[in-house]
Amino acid sequence: MLIAQLTDTHVRLPGRLAYGVVDTGAYLERAAARLRALSPRPDVVLVTGDLTDFDKPEEYGRFRSLTAQLPMPIYPVPGNHDSSTGLRAAFPEIAARASGGPDSKVNYVVEEHAVRLVMLDSSVRGKPHGELGRRALAWLDGQLAVAPERPTLIALHHPPFLTGIRHMDVQNLADAAALEEVVAKHPQVLGLVCGHVHRAVTTSFAGRPATIGPAPAHAVSLALGPDAPPSFHMEPPAMSLHRFADGRLATHTSFIGPYDGPYPFFDAHNRLVGED
């Protein structure tokens, strides 16, 4: 199974630039084209939050129209720039998978693929930090308990770990320790995938791999100094591709080009190209 992870697209209305600089809609268009061109084709696309920049219905509408040509299902969760309510209204088919009413958190499980996907809503209305809450953690524990044999991937927006980028670390997942306790009980969890930090980061969490996916538009600056001011760079746009095989996940960073290539290593006589 091949799982694409797109995150932090921050879509705005046409003509509006994120932070006055970034044409995020155009970047999403390129990411969607890349997803369509990938071979083999990913089975699913996870969108780990911040689909929109300002949680406006029209921004969700634009996200949907820019991704409408994708042949694979899209499974989103809200980030701090979105809201549970906004995402439910824009994705009724996702709202139907989650329990609760129109303002409830969008926690849901996707059962129909080789890897069981547990999608967690870490958004807190009007706040930049994330929190799952006791009820959602109990729900997660129960969901993991009913399928102990099924390889499972957990996706959420806010990383439950520090990255060293201080202005982001102060707005990560508040109840990370409680989440780690739940995950530790369930060996079938292959790993966790997050967004929020707009750059590729890898660590471990409850003994499992935990990654932050890179962004298809602006990257949060790699500023590890204690007093570094919040800023972003226009680094190469990218997404994660998580390949599940032989019981393991291998996570690739897939840059969204165009880039030169492919160039062959070997010529028609199976000799290394350029060898003297």
When the beta carbons of 234 and 272 are compared against Fe ion, the nearer one is: 234
CB of 93 to Fe ion, least distance (A): 24
Taking the complex as a whole, how short is the minimal distance between the CB of residue 75 and Fe ion, in angstroms?
18
Complex with Fe ion: residue 192 or 215, whichever CB lies closer? 215
> Nearest distance from residue 111's CB to Fe ion, in Å?
28
Question: Which C-beta is closer to Fe ion: that of 21 or that of 184?
Answer: 21
> Phi/psi at 210 (nearest 5 deg)?
-135, 130
List the one residue out of 3, 13, 5, 103 whose CA is nearest residue 65: 13
Q: How far is the CB of 87 from Fe ion (least distance, A)?
A: 14
Q: Which is nearer to Fe ion, 105 or 199 (CB)?
A: 199
Q: Can you give the binding site for Fe ion, defined by CB under 5 A?
A: 8, 50
Shortest CB 61 distance to Fe ion, Å? 19
Nearer to Fe ion, 7 or 152 (CB): 7
